[in-house]
Structure 1
Amino acid sequence: MTLSDRDATGLLTRPESFVQLVDETGTRRHDAEFDPWVADVDAAALGRLYRDMVIVRRLDAEGVALQRQGELGLWPPLAGQEAAQIGSVRALRDDDFAFTSYRELAVAWARGVAAEGLVTTWRGTASSGWDPAAHRVAVPQIIIGAQALHATGYAMGLRWDHSDAAAIAYFGDGATSEGDVNEAFVFASSFEAPVVFFCQNNQWAISEPVGLQSKQELARRADGFAMPGIRVDGNDVLAVLAVTRMALERARRGDGPSLIEAVTYRMGPHTTADDPSRYRDDAELAAWRERDPIARLLALLEGLGVDVAGLERETAEAADRAAAELRAACLGLVDPPALSVFDHVYAEPNSHVARQREHYERYLALFGDEASDQNGAGR
């Protein structure tokens, strides 16, 4: 490996540097090691993966629009990372548990979270949009990398309960430099926890390029923790599915954790509060558009003889319906009573919280009738 193998961001660009089953042109690349993991994925299954990615991209665009229109306080776009998220989440069993950051819209959607749940937090009407136990996906974590520890603890519990279920933790390239993630690696390796660490290397930790924080592939960080690390083309949904299935199977049979580095790209801003034009140029963005995960899968389907025009039409209609549901759900959310912020802080009554609640209630009373509005009125 030489510096000439890297682009301006430090990304290794050699094709052999990651697992790839479908290249940028939509050509199927066969691999003796990973083909068996997706032997069951026929044209119909590929069509469903395409549908998944188109719908979540449309939902993401609607979320951005809602924020720009003042209906959401913030939105973290996922555009460009659809294959990484859909390919990995579709590898999970129903009894597996996902622990995500704030960007995994596709994971929550694929696990059956309703439209309202996808926007509740960003609307500011609740701290979480769904019941984690019902969907087997934890509340999205805002603290960078903390979900890796949560996933590891949960996976350790699975091992002690003699369950063959597994956990998966999603985080970005920037999170690999956080103490929480490295501590999770230590515990997971030491206790052979059935957890898959899924790093979406989208090239930018806000405004810091991945090449600045790591001089080698992020997957190689697994070496120091005695667990396997594998690098996959994160814009190739089939390869991501294969690699994640393999890592999950390893976890289920008691061989411990794995680290997957899915090499992808964040097409939009870090969040809607960010301006990526201040730290990256148009040429870089254009180069990654040529690696679009949705376009390459559509090209593969066309090569397989699928009626792609019909598929595009049906999928676009489904995506528009989903986006309309998201918008309607967002606009229909009602502000909770102001004092409800103190509910569910602790499982049992707590004198400190009770005192704070009393103080805030007295404060609201200073506003007279306005206080009653804050304790139950909608937007």
Structure 2
Amino acid sequence: MSSPATATPTTLNVPLSLYIHIPWCVRKCPYCDFNSHEQKDTLPEQAYISAMLEDLDQDLAFIQGRELQSIFIGGGTPSLFSPEAYQRLLTELQHRIRFAPDIEITLEANPGTVEQSHFNGYRESGINRLSIGVQSFDPSQLQKLGRIHDSDDALRAISCAQKAGFSNFNVDLMHGLNNQSQAEAVQDINLAINAGAPHISWYQLTIEPNTEFYKRPPRLPLETDMHRIQNAGSQALSDAGFQRYEVSAYAKAGHQSRHNLNYWQFGDYLAIGAGAHGKITQENGQIIRYQKTRKPEDYLSRSPSRSSKIDTIAADDLPLEFMMNALRLRQGFSAELFEQRTNLSWQVIADTISRLTNTSLLMVDQDKYAPTHRGYDMLDSILAEFLPD
């Protein structure tokens, strides 16, 4: 890979999103390595929202005149907060940042923590997309995953969301679960499809450090069985009219997650909430990453700044940082996007791209570069080509 050459900064052309982290949950799942904490007392909704708004006020310079394209409220379990809390939060956000007219605002909701009135209230507050954390419809798998809902709760949550007017929502599903068969994995998909989900995130269970599953691993399917499950599930989704637009994301036409697309296309995103991560392109073309303090009690008490870590991404690291996101997309990326989002010249990676294309790991279609079918199976090898010298 060549030495980085800087292109003309195009900061204002980088779209801007906002990630909001709600760190509390009813119970910590054994596979979860996110910054989540079991709810022990009454949630400090209003105090936490005040803290997040004060936090954002310290970062307003990052906006640089842009408007928000999307908001994603994740966790933890964001649906533990009331609709009234989100009404206040979104109203206050609009006093600080312009919202795009077609802004996408997503809330993660777990079955078992919401009821019809809450879904109605979320919709009225301005939230227009949900991500429902089902994970599986199989009662035995739900129990092993430590989920607090059952299959009826999951189907009821999807139905309640639709009755509240949510036509745009995602259903989160896992595969490669404890002793899971191919038929069982595909059955989960079919139940989500039949329930009317227009977007399905279908991802393989991975065992992460600092989780209960890491200490006591479940019995996962063999690698060959995993491959068959992946192929069968992808085929079932394709047959039902879903497009696989990212490694683990499948959507019907018009239902791709705009917020996640911004991540994968190396856009910018503000971050508020305990442990939230942000990425911002500065006026000088440099790109920074920052993180908020992780513990909820620290986040609530620190004032006014709650940023615990800020790093500038070195120019040598930018090609890899970009590729770790962009190569997940089926549609690929253009040379123009690479230059716009990294402020580097295409010549920095031109030889590497040519080599990967010649070895059939990348393909070119209408000036966009994307992994081939073989390349998707070798993403780690592709990414290694973009490591700094």
User: TM-score with structure 1 length normalisation?
Assistant: 0.32
Higher relative CO (Cα under 8 Å, sequence separation at least 6) belongs to 1
Q: Which has the higher strand share?
A: 2
Q: Which has the higher helix share?
A: 1
